[in-house]
């Protein structure tokens, strides 16, 4: 337990760290238990363990039970991508009474075992580093509230080239009022200047 670094308002940090095997995606390249042993020695970590699938009901249940059992006020999940499962784990910690923004993820699958499967030792060290960085970040987290903000269903696309035209059409098909702005007197960009296009050799217009 670190006496030097406390959370906001001198809150005593109690961090739980969960290392996911993700089947063989992570566990087939590194030994998650070695990351657990490493995490146990990090400042403010009071609970560290591994789980076969952190995103499964059993994995989420483990996290929720530990939040209450160990009085955790920060959670770190070392697993897959934030894009894939951040909402899953935020919902889990929220159900356990913890603010969802006091959870941090470390991507040790896409950014580690998938990228460095040829170097298991290096992948293990990187997994430890990513986990340590996530734990360090929890020291600066504060509770946040979800708010709803009114959004005007209107968009402006700058540039009337192929990409701009395509984006404008996609937005319009979703029912969003779209304004396409082009500085030239005609749209089409470079494509409109081509006589023929490969591979069909059709007219670009």
pLDDT tens-digit profile of 93-134? 999 999 999 999 999 999 999 999 999 999 999 999 999 999
- Tell me phi and psi for residue 24, to 5 degrees: -100, 0
CA dist 139 → 92, 102, 104, 118, 165 (Å): 20, 10, 11, 33, 46
| Residue 66 confidence (pLDDT) above 50 | yes
- Report residue 202's pLDDT band, with 50, 70 and 90 as the boundaries: confident
Segment 187-195 mean pLDDT: 78
The mean predicted confidence, pLDDT, of the chain is: 92
Q: Which fold has domain 8-138?
A: Rossmann fold (3.40.50)
pLDDT classification of 33: cutoffs 50, 70, 90: very high
Q: For residue 26, what are the CA distances in angstroms to 35, 85, 111, 118, 130?
A: 11, 15, 11, 13, 14
Report how far Cα 48 is from the mean position of its chain's Cα atoms: 20
Number of C-beta neighbours around residue 47 at 10 A? 19
Name residue, tokens 């009071």: 46
Residues whose CB falls within 8 Å of the CB of residue 15, separated by 6 or more in sequence, listed in order: 42, 44, 45, 46, 47, 72, 73, 74, 75, 76, 135, 138
- Asked if 38 and 17 touch (Cβ cutoff 8 Å), the reply is no
Q: pLDDT band for position 8 (50/70/90)?
A: low
State residue 205's pLDDT score. 61
pLDDT at 3: 41
Partners of 106 in the β-ladder = 78
pLDDT the model gives residue 191: 77
pTM reported for the whole predicted model:
0.74
Residue 4 has a pLDDT of 41
* Location of each CATH 3.40.50 domain in the chain: 8-138
Percent of residues, the chain, with pLDDT higher than 90: 82
Whether the upstream peptide bond of residue 199 has omega within 30° of 0, thus cis, is yes
Tell me what percent of the residues of the chain surpass a pLDDT of 70.
Answer: 94
Residue 11 or residue 153, greater confidence? 153
Asked if the model's pLDDT at residue 155 lies above 50, the reply is yes
């Amino acid at each position: 337990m670190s006496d030097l670094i406390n959370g906001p308002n001198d809150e005593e940090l109690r961090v739980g760290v969960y290392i996911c095997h993700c089947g063989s995606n992570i566990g087939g390249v590194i030994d998650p238990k070695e990351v657990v042993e490493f995490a146990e020695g990090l400042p403010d970590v009071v609970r560290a363990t591994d789980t076969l699938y952190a995103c499964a009901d059993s994995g989420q249940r483990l996290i929720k039970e530990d939040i209450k059992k160990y009085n955790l006020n920060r959670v770190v999940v070392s697993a897959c991508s934030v894009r894939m499962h951040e909402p899953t784990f935020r919902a889990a910690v929220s159900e356990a009474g913890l603010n969802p923004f006091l959870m941090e993820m470390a991507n040790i699958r896409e950014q580690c075992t998938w990228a460095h499967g040829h170097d298991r030792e290096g992948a293990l060290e990187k997994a430890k580093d990513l986990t340590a960085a996530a734990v360090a970040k929890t020291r600066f987290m504060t509770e946040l509230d979800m708010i709803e903000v009114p959004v005007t269903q209107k968009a402006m696309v700058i540039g009337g080239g192929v990409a701009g035209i395509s984006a404008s059409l996609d937005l319009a098909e979703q029912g969003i009022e779209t304004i396409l702005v082009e500085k030239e007197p005609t749209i089409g960009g470079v494509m409109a200047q081509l006589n023929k296009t490969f591979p069909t050799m059709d007219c670009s217009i």
